[in-house]
Amino acid sequence: MSSASNTASSVLIILPAEADFDAAAFVDAHRTAKAAGHYVVLATPGGAQPQVDETELQSLGPDAATRVRGYLEECTLALLSPRALHTVDEASFAQVIILGEPAVGQEIHRFAATRRAARRPLAVLGGDVPATRDFATSDSGVSEPEEPAASEADVVSLDAVRGSRTHTKE
């Protein structure tokens, strides 16, 4: 298989290691990528095992939470051993999805900046408002990397993702 065809069929989903992730948003992104015929790779900063946000999962209600847990069980191996983000070549993926707040983690910032600089597709699913902040300097005066700007990445509110879900029987 050539490198070009490999890139065209691979999607990277980056999960936070510093915070719990929204399992329903993960399931939506993973299921959509798989249904489109993509090979999906999971990565976290340092290769740490991501943790499900149980509060968010329970807020879905018992039936939806059960369906989400069932899908997570199908992804157990990948969730138990994600790739370390620093070992991932961003150019190897047709699409990259960052799941979680855009500001989560310096390693994710660096990866997103590299992806943006190369003008490759990047979607950020996180936050309540699809907005960005200027991280030129923090309150402590320390310079921090910039967050993906809306014009440079598809920043999508998790609330918008939840609102656009179609509920079908499986």
The pLDDT tens digits of the residues spanning 37-89 come to 999 999 999 999 999 999 989 999 999 999 999 999 999 999 999 999 999 99
Residue 85 lies in a domain: yes
Question: pTM above 0.75?
Answer: no
Amino acid occupying residue 19: A
Q: For residue 154, what pLDDT is reported? A: 52
Q: What is the DSSP letter of 91?
A: G
The pLDDT tens digits of the residues spanning 22-34 come to 999 999 999 999 9
Q: Tell me the C-alpha distance between 43 and 162, whole Å.
A: 23
How crowded is residue 12: how many other Cβ atoms within 10 Å of its Cβ? 26
Residue 21 lies in a domain: yes
Cβ(44)–Cβ(50) below 8 Å: yes
Q: Of 1-10, 34-43, 89-98, 154-163, give the lowest mean pLDDT range.
A: 154-163
Placement of tokens 């967050």 in the chain:
147
Residue 169 lies in a domain: no
Residue 170 lies in a domain: no
Residue 90 lies in a domain: yes
Residue 94 lies in a domain: yes
- Containing domain of residue 10, as a range? 3-164
Q: For residue 124, what pLDDT is reported? A: 87
Residue 115 lies in a domain: yes
Q: What are phi and psi of 65, to 5 degrees?
A: -60, -40
**CATH assignment of the domain containing 126:** 3.40.50
> Whole-number mean pLDDT of the chain?
75
Q: What percent of the chain has pLDDT over 90?
A: 52
Give the count of domains, the chain.
1
Q: Tell me the C-alpha distance between 79 and 156, whole Å.
A: 23
